[in-house]
Structure 1
C-alpha cells in the first residue's frame, strides 16, 4: 500500500494540538528556507526547538541542540529539513523521544521513514510545507 498524507482536516487537528516543534536541520542563516519557515511558525505561537549538530548557541532565540535525544522536554512534531536519505534515521530518533508527528518538508519523501512512524504509532507527513499547511488549516482556528 502506498503512503498517503493525512487529510487537511487531520493536519489542522495535529497543528492545533501541537506545542513544541523540533526543527531538524534548522539553519542559523536567515536567508535559508528552514530559518524562514521556523520563524514564521514561531511567530504563530509555536515553540521552535532547533536541532543542528553544526550550531552551538541559539537560533531564533532558542537553544540549539545537536540531536533530538538532547532535547530535555517533550516534542510534538519533528519537522525535517534534511535530504531524503537521512530521514529514516531521523524517524528512528523521533520515535525514540516519543514525538507524535514526523513532518518532512516539501520535496522530501522517504518511505522507510513513513514505515518507522507507522510501526511506532506516529503520524508521518511528507512533501508538505508546515508553514503553508498551518496557514491553510489554521486560518481562523485557535490552537488548543
Structure 2
C-alpha cells in the first residue's frame, strides 16, 4: 500500500496535543535549516530536545543535546528528523524503542523503510513535510 501522510486536520490535532519534540540532527549552527525550524517551533511554545552525536553534551537552543534518542532522560512524543533518508530506518527503530508516538521526516526526506518500521509499531508517520510550515498553517486556521 502506498504511503499517505495524515490529513491536514490530523496534523493540526497532532501539533495541538504534542508534548516533547526530539529533533534528530539538530545543528548547533544557527544558519542551518534544522536550527531555524527548531528555533521557530520553540518560539511557538514547543519543547525542543536536541539529538546530535556530534554536539552531545553541548547546549543548543538552551537545551542539553543528547547523542541518541535512548539517552534523552524524559518521554518524547514526537521525533522530528533532519537526517538523510538512508539513516531514517535506524532513527525509526530508536523512536520505537523509546515509545515515541510520531515520526516526522522533514521536507525532502522520504524513507518508506522508516515509515514501515514506525507504523508496524503503531506510530503515526509524516514524511516530506516541514513541521514549521504545517504548524504555521494550523496557527493560521486557529486564528482565522
- Distance in 1 (CA, whole Å) between partners of 2:119 and 2:77 is 16
Runs of 4+ in 1 over 3 A off after TM superposition: none
1:137 CA drift (Å):
1.5
- Distance in 2 (CA, whole Å) between partners of 1:112 and 1:137 is 28
1:117-136 CA distance string (max 9 Å, x none): 11110001000000000010
Which position in structure 1 is the counterpart of 2:18? Answer: 18
Q: Give runs of aligned pairs for residues 79-118 of structure 1, distance below 5 A.
A: 79-118=80-119
Task: Look up the SS of the partner of 1:15 in the other structure.
Answer: helix
1:5 and 2:8 matched: no
Q: Give runs of aligned pairs for residues 34-73 of structure 1, distance below 5 A.
A: 34-55=34-55, 56-73=57-74
Across the two proteins, how many residue pairs are aligned to each other?
A: 142
- Give the CA RMSD over aligned residues: 1.1
Which 5+ residue runs of structure 1 have no aligned equivalent? none
1:69-113 CA distance string (max 9 Å, x none): 000111111000000000000000001000010000000000011
1:141 CA drift (Å):
3.3
TM-score w.r.t. the length of structure 2 is 0.96
- Between stretches 2-11 and 133-142, larger displacement belongs to 133-142
Higher relative contact order (CA 8 A, sep 6+): 1
TM-score w.r.t. the length of structure 1 is 0.96
- Distance in 1 (CA, whole Å) between partners of 2:47 and 2:140 is 19
**Contact 1:80-1:103 within 8 A present in 2 as well:** yes
- Distance in 2 (CA, whole Å) between partners of 1:141 and 1:54 is 38
1:140 CA drift (Å):
5.5
Which position in structure 2 is the counterpart of 1:32? Answer: 32
Higher helix share: 2
